[in-house]
């Protein structure tokens, strides 16, 4: 009798309950388990919303390729097609496949419901990769007033990113050892290089002057070794400086876009 009373009722795993539990998990950001529940639900009943939610759950879990497969499978006549297509484009952006995104946007007709949104994504993508930036007026065209100001700020930063020339860094270090490092922002390393090269050079000169040929040549070799290494290091330091600036810029831009939800509509009504 107690066993019968305590037994789990059979209807617990019915499709309706699985869907409810899946929705609860989805809205609690427990996407992996939500997908499991949704997939079990779909075994019994076809449902486009649930299918869309699975795609979104994979997107949230950063499984972009799988998510894109889900969104790409919506037929054109489906009610969710515009949203699925929008997410399909967004995933190119999240995967950082910017040229693929731009190609797909260029192929999309202007009568597509979310054309402005994908066009915005396409323009934002120019801020990330190394292709030339389009004209700022074209850029502004797709953003509203408040969005314009924010995005143009990043546009201007990208245009004027403080970058160091690798050639200048190398040449400066060739003239005065360490100067290229100082130019690349590594003052301590630059001064050290100057001292090391100066000291070894002086030892070479002093030993030659005192008639110690072997030691003279030894220190000459060491001077040449560290002199060449410093020129190389200055070029590398300039490149690291540039990369740090670029990475910092991209990180800040990514955080900004995440806050703005990539200027895209969100699906808060899915969790009401």
Partner 1 sequence: MKFKLLLILSFVYGNLIAQTDWERWDADNSVFQLKGIQERDYSLDKSNVGMMALTALRDLYWFAFSDLDGDNCPFHPTCSSFFVEAVKKTNLLQGLLMFADRFTRDTNFFKGFNHYEIDETGKFFDPVDNYTLTGTYIRKQSYHKRKYKLK
243 touching partner 1, by CB under 8 A: yes
Residues from 146 through 165 that contact partner 1 (CB under 8 A) = 157
Contact with partner 1 (CB under 8 A) among 97, 215, 229, 260: 229
Separation of first and last alpha carbons in the chain: 41
HSE of 114 in the Cβ direction (CA atoms, 13 Å)? 21
Q: How far, in Å, CA of 244 to CA of 177, rounded?
A: 23
On whether the CB atoms of residues 22 and 41 are closer than 8 A, the answer is yes
Closest CA to 203 of 224, 220, 226: 220
What is the CA 6 to chain-centroid distance, rounded?
A: 52
Measured CA to CA, the distance from residue 207 to residue 197 in angstroms comes to 15
Q: Should residue 248 be labelled a site residue for partner 1 when binding is judged by CB under 8 A?
A: yes
If binding is defined by CB under 8 A, does position 203 make contact with partner 1?
no
Interaction of residue 236 with partner 1, rule CB under 8 A: yes
Residue 169 binding partner 1, by CB under 8 A: no
Pick 44 or 232: Cβ nearer partner 1? 232
**Binding of residue 252 to partner 1 (CB under 8 A):** yes
Euclidean distance between CA atoms 17 and 22, whole angstroms: 8
Q: Choose the stretch contacting partner 1; rule: CB under 8 A; options: 10-18, 55-63, 111-119, 227-235.
A: 227-235
Smallest distance from partner 1 to CB 235, Å: 7
- CA distance linking residue 105 with residue 90, whole number of Å: 11
> Is residue 233 within the footprint of partner 1 (CB under 8 A)?
yes
Q: Which stretch binds partner 1 (CB under 8 A): 23-31, 52-60, 113-121, 247-255?
A: 247-255
Question: Is the Cβ–Cβ distance between 183 and 235 less than 8 Å?
Answer: no
Measured from the CB of residue 115, what is the shortest distance to partner 1 in angstroms? 32
- DSSP designation for 126: T
Part in contact with partner 1 (CB under 8 A); list of ranges 85-93, 131-139, 243-251, 262-270: 243-251
Task: Please state, in angstroms and rounded to a whole number, the distance separating the CA atoms of residues 256 and 260.
Answer: 6
Which of 40, 78, 148, 192 binds partner 1 (CB under 8 A)? It is 192
Instruction: Tell me the closest approach of the beta carbon of residue 240 to partner 1, in angstroms.
Output: 6
**How large is the greatest C-alpha to C-alpha distance in the chain, in angstroms?**
108
Residue (42 or 245) nearer to partner 1, CB: 245
Shortest distance, CB of residue 185 to partner 1, whole angstroms?
8
Closest separation in Å from C-beta 124 to partner 1: 17
27 part of the interface to partner 1, by CB under 8 A: no
Contact present, 237 and 169 (Cβ < 8 Å) = yes
Q: In sequence order, which residues have a C-beta less than 8 Å from that of residue 97 and are 6 or more positions away?
A: none
Chain residues binding partner 1 by CB under 8 A are: 157, 185-186, 188-189, 191-193, 196, 225-226, 228-230, 232-233, 235-236, 239-240, 243-245, 247-249, 251-252
């Amino acid at each position: 009798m107690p066993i019968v009373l305590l037994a789990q009722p059979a209807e617990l795993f019915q499709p309706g309950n699985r869907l409810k539990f899946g929705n609860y998990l989805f809205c609690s950001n427990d996407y992996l388990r939500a997908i499991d529940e949704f997939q079990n639900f779909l075994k019994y009943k076809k449902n486009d919303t649930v299918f869309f939610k699975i795609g979104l759950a994979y997107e949230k879990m950063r499984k972009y390729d799988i998510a894109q497969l889900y969104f790409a499978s919506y037929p054109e006549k489906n009610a969710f097609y515009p949203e699925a297509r929008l997410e399909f484009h967004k995933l190119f952006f999240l995967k950082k496949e910017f040229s693929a995104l731009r190609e797909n946007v260029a192929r999309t007709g202007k009568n597509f419901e979310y054309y402005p949104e994908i066009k915005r994504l396409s323009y934002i993508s120019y801020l990330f990769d190394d292709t030339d930036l389009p004209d700022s007026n074209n850029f502004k065209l797709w953003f509203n007033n408040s969005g314009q100001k924010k995005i143009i700020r990043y546009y201007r930063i990208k245009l004027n990113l403080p970058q160091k020339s690798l050639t200048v860094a190398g040449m400066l270090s060739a003239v005065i050892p360490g100067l290229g490092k100082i130019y690349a922002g590594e003052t301590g390393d630059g001064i050290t290089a100057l001292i090391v090269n100066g000291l070894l050079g002086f030892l070479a000169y002093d030993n030659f002057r005192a008639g110690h040929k072997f030691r003279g040549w030894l220190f000459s070799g060491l001077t040449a070794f560290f002199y060449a290494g410093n020129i190389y290091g200055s070029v590398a330091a300039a490149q690291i400086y540039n990369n740090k600036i670029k990475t910092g810029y991209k990180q800040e831009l990514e955080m900004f876009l995440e806050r703005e939800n990539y200027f895209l509509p969100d699906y808060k009504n899915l969790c009401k």
